Structure 1
Amino acid sequence: MCLRGVRSYFAFSAEQRTGIVILFAIIIVLQSVYFFVDFNETQSVSPNKQKWLAMQSEIDALKESNLKYSAKIYPFNPNFISDYKGYKLGMSVSEIDRLLAYRKENKYVNSAKEFQAVTKVSDSLLNVIAPYFKFPDWVKSKLGNKGYVKYENKPFAKKEILSLLDINGATQEDLVKVYGIGEVISLRIIKLKESLGGFVSMEQMHDVWGLSPEVIANLNSHFKVYALPVVHKIDINNASLKEISQFSYFRYALAKEIVTYRSMNGDIKNVEDLIKIKGFPVEKANIIALYLDF
């Protein structure tokens, strides 16, 4: 009785048997396709892609080298460290502020030891950055003297000041000896001097494009104007518009204002008349007047 019950589960009709056979046939076909057919498609690779794939090892090597890259530190004068520069060197905010406060008093550090005394940086950080300190040559020569003594607020300290050269007699070789001045800037200084006929004041160094306040201070410690040069003065009341506009301190628009002013008000007699002209650089009036003939 029990066997009959079980056999009833395996009793199929003709249609069911046909369906089972077809199902087994489909399974066998699919298994055969899976085992005997290669599904890895051969992709066509362009020449450019083949070239990049060939360079992959080189690219990987470059990536690895970039991970090991560390920023190179170039020689620098520690007196002129900015906030960003100090941060990149590993200095704390308080250490940078101490240096900036010291510089605001118009004081300079002349050695790594003085730098540490002012900023309070650690010995470990000083050992890393001190080899890159670059001080002016005159500082090195002073520190190299065995009998050197640092004088402060004493009358005879002036004996330590280097003899100054006349800026109007300075050559390019003289200028490039100053820390912060290279071949390009030295040529700009000489060209401005030649166009004016000579400098009448060291304040004119501010008119040379590319000179920072620190470099101008270095120039002032090496050069001065000993005597006013003999220059070809511009007859401001009779010169033509073209002649006036060719002067280094007068652009064409200002030259037109000068011609207009003198045609409406008569001759320009002095500096007071000059500063009444629209667009005239008042802060340079006294210097410009030395190149004019009233």
Structure 2
Amino acid sequence: MKKPYDFFLRFTKQQQKGIVALLLLILVIQLGYYIYVSVLFTGDKFTAEQEKEWLSHQTEIDRLQSQKSQKRDTIFPFNPNYISDYKAYVLGINLQQLNKLKEYRKSGAFVNSAQEFKNVTGVHDTLLVKLSPYFRFPVMPVNKQRGEEQNVVPTYTHKDEITIIDINKATREDLIKIHGIGDYYSKLIVERREQLGGYVSMEQMDDFSQIPQQAIILLKERFQVIEVPQTLKINVNNASLSQLSRFPYFDKELARAIITHRSMLGKFVKIEDLLKINGFPVQKEKIIALYLEF
């Protein structure tokens, strides 16, 4: 009776070694394939689990992105006697109303209450209700005889008028005179002005979040954009990554997104096109637009 492996003995020893080596090679290949398939399916399972987790948070992500993309109008405290053309535009005060205020101020008089502001400018009650909580008038000094602060808003005369300095011509020494603006903050303000080619609105002082709020209010009272500067324009359709990243209102991530967007969808035509990019500071849209060209 022949044994099952008798056929193997018919080969030479060299041939037998070759057959064994071939069988081992087939075994190794099969084992490697099994391991590969196992890892592949495990990875798919892991990816599927990750995808489920992402999807579970998608509603919250969509909500946050929607909130981020919405324009928010933020009004900071200000002295209504020193409203620039740009600020009037942002607040909803038309040119006729602004001119009435300017004529009133040219006479050497000041508005000292919300009602007086309405009487001079003729703004609608709805707008007055919106703006009046942010009006800031200088407070009457302490009454030395009574030792208490007066609550009555003072009436200013011409000799009481504060000398207003153009923020784009102010020196660091001028800025340091403001309580709360020291050597460091004055340097920041001047350096940012040089980067931009000039400020177009005193609202840009709010960009310096590290400066105390009271100092910001004083800055807006003592300085104004008297002459609109020739700002440094950035062409968003051909500016490089480095140029976009150096613009104070953009960071490197947003600069990359702008370049990617224009390379995939074509040139930007207006500022509204940029608002579609995730991470664009939409609340500063009007100011940023003055530094860009298309």
Structure with the greater relative contact order (CA < 8 A, sep ≥ 6): 1 or 2?
Answer: 2
Q: Which TM-score applies when normalising by structure 2? A: 0.49
